Amino acid sequence: MFSLRPKEGGSAVPPPTPPPSNILLKVGMVLSLILILAVGYVSYSTRTELERQIAGLQEELADQARAMKAARTQATDMAADIDLVRKRAGVTAQELESARKFAERLRAEQEKAKEQLASELASKANSTDVAAARQEASTKLAEVQQSSEAKIGTVSGEVKTVAANLDVTRADLAASRREITDVRTTLSQQIARNAGELADLRKKGERDFFEFDIKKPKKNEMARVADIQLQLRRTDPKKAKYDVVIQVDDSRLEKKERTANEPVQFLVGRDKLRYEIVVNYVDKDRIRGYLSTPKDKVLAAERPTFRPE
């Protein structure tokens, strides 16, 4: 064994330097560690970005699914309306076609009678027979024309009746669609400004009341209240004003610059039922109030219509 201790009276021996291979190994390990960390960071960033994009695509797919569902519902309603028109108009179209064929048959019979009379006139030999034949032809022609005019008049009356029935069918179809109409007159002088006053109105039992708390939507969604839908467009809490859209089936009515505790009336449906909205509180992107509807919708009809049988 060799000793590194200096000899007595001699100089110290320096420690041996590490071999170059150990230094390169350490440098390689450090570089490998840095490379692994860089690859891990890039992988994490890529995964995060992919998850964000997948979430965005899922949200877009959900929006498209909702839009397709709404379009499918509207197409179903339109198909039902078209089927109703086709069923009601099928009978009238058949009657019109029968009337046209009957008129064409009358014209053909009239032309045939004229040709037959001309043939009989040509077969007469002397002037006496010709004169008698002419007289007979004139009489027969007058009879044929009178009969044809009577029958054509009957056909014209039937065609007008069919057209009138078709107009009634179209009117009935148009009236079957529910509509809403703006009303400026006051439904009643009594409105509820808070929960206590609303409870007092309910005790009277004259109308039905439905409270709502609606916020401004992010994607134009409609909030259902009873049998109507509402959409908050804008609020001004300082002035206690708001804009709202009212929808009943496919009909829409927009109300702008309305004030808190101001009754908003409108007519609904073919029976013109009076509905009323009262907003008690106007907050930032939020309104709270109630909807008032007739309790007996049959007796509450504004203008009932009666169709003769």
Alpha carbons 146 and 160: distance in angstroms, whole number: 21
**Number of structural domains found in the chain:** 2
pTM of the model: 0.41
Of 134, 156, 176, which marks where a domain is finished?
176
State the CATH number of the domain containing residue 280.
Answer: 2.60.98
93 pLDDT band, cuts 50/70/90, is low
Residues 83 and 199 in one domain: no
Residues 35 and 159 in one domain: yes
**Parent domain of 202:** 180-294
161 pLDDT band, cuts 50/70/90, is confident
* Residue 41 located in a structural domain: yes
* Residue 4 located in a structural domain: no
Other CB atoms closer than 10 Å to residue 279's CB: what's the count? Answer: 25
**Tokens, residue 196:** 């206590």
pLDDT above 80: residue 32:
yes
pLDDT above 70: residue 203:
yes
185 Cβ contact list (under 8 Å, min separation 6): 265
Of 133, 154, 176, which marks where a domain is finished?
176
* Residue 62 located in a structural domain: yes
* Residue 210 located in a structural domain: yes
Lowest mean pLDDT among 62-71, 175-184, 274-283: 175-184
Alpha carbons 276 and 226: distance in angstroms, whole number: 12
**Tokens, residue 172:** 């009935």
Contact 261, 279 (CB under 8 A): yes
pLDDT tens track for 227-257: 999 999 999 999 999 999 999 888 899 999 9
* Residue 79 located in a structural domain: yes
Of 156, 176, 196, which marks where a domain is finished?
176
pLDDT above 70: residue 288:
yes
Distances (CA, A) of 9 to 15, 16, 66: 19, 22, 98
pLDDT tens track for 102-133: 878 888 887 887 777 777 666 654 556 656 76
pLDDT above 90: residue 98:
no
DSSP calls for 18-79: PPHHHHHHHHHHHHHHHHHHHHHHHHHHHHHHHHHHHHHHHHHHHHHHHHHHHHHHHHHHHH
